[in-house]
Amino acid sequence: MEYVFLSPSWFFVYSVLLEAFFAVITMIISIYGFRVYKLTEQKQLKTFGIAFLFISFSYIIQSVLNLVILSKLDDDVALFIKLNSVYLLNLFGLYAHALFFITGLFLLTYITLNINSNRVMLLFLSVLLMAVLLSTNKIFLFYVLSSVLLIFTVWYYFSNYLKKKSVNTLLVLLAMIFLLFGTLHLMYSVENEVYYVIGHILEFIAYALLLTNLVIILKHGKKKG
């Protein structure tokens, strides 16, 4: 049996708000990536924008469906049909989030590998998604695969920071580290709800760092302009 209600009841509202916050930040980063791509026409920046667009969609779906679940849980009549619909909505929300998020995360990792082949990208992405879809424990495997992808991404940004020791590269590196540890905590949330809370807090720090980095870049851009 697969556990799907990962959040403790007292944290559910906060998780909805945090997911909406994550969705906004990742959407802003995606839009910025597309804007820079139009100016530079660098293919990697286009992939970067698409990656964060998928990640943003993953949080949008999850936060919207959790809002629907919250409205159903607030109803004063707790019929079996309503409880069953809440379960199915939560299950769909988790699976949709997993597929969109891991697609975005894979695209980010793919950029770091410097492989310029759409066929290779589609092959690896197909294998990744099929592995999650066919798994008997989709959520746990999703977190495991996400952690592996993030380890490669952290290694890339760590190497990048050693080459360019700037505030921007440090913020991105720290963001990816926090996102990695957040994902690792979420992986164990199927056993203990406390890990779900810690995971979301670590994700919040990661996206706050990415937002800070984006603000610094935009400020420097305005000064140059």
Mark 188-224 as b/e (b = at least 16 C-beta within 10 Å): ebbeebebbbbbbebbbbbbbbbbebbeeeeeeeeee
In a domain, 1, yes or no: no
In a domain, 4, yes or no: no
Examine residue 174 and state whether it is found in any structural domain, yes or no: yes
Q: CB–CB of 137/91 below 8 Å?
A: no
Query: Which has more confidence, 134 or 41?
Result: 134
Instruction: Give domain status of residue 155, yes or no.
Output: yes
Instruction: Select the more confidently predicted residue: 77 or 139.
Output: 139
Q: Which of 69, 55, 136 is closest to 98 using CA atoms? A: 55
- Give 146's pLDDT tier (boundaries 50, 70, 90): very high
Q: Which letter, b or e, does each residue of 10-42 get, where b requires 16 or more Cβ atoms within 10 Å of its Cβ?
A: ebeeebbebbbbbbbbbbbbbebbeebbeeeee
Count the domains in the chain.
1
Which segment of 61-75, 92-106, 109-123, 150-164 scores lowest on mean pLDDT? 61-75
Domain of residue 83, residue span: 9-224
Mean pLDDT taken over the chain: 84
Q: Does residue 44 belong to any structural domain of this protein?
A: yes
pTM of the entire predicted model? 0.86
Above pLDDT 70, what percent of the chain? 85
- Give the pLDDT score at 79: 42
* More confidently predicted of 115 and 17: 17
Residue 107: inside a domain, yes or no? yes
In this predicted structure, the answer to whether residue 75 has a pLDDT above a threshold of 60 is no
Q: Decide if pLDDT at 74 tops 60.
A: no
Domain annotation covers residue 126: yes
Tell me the pLDDT band of 204, cut-offs 50, 70 and 90.
Answer: very high
| Mean pLDDT, rounded, for 130-154 | 91
pLDDT for 81 = 40
In a domain, residue 190? The reply is yes
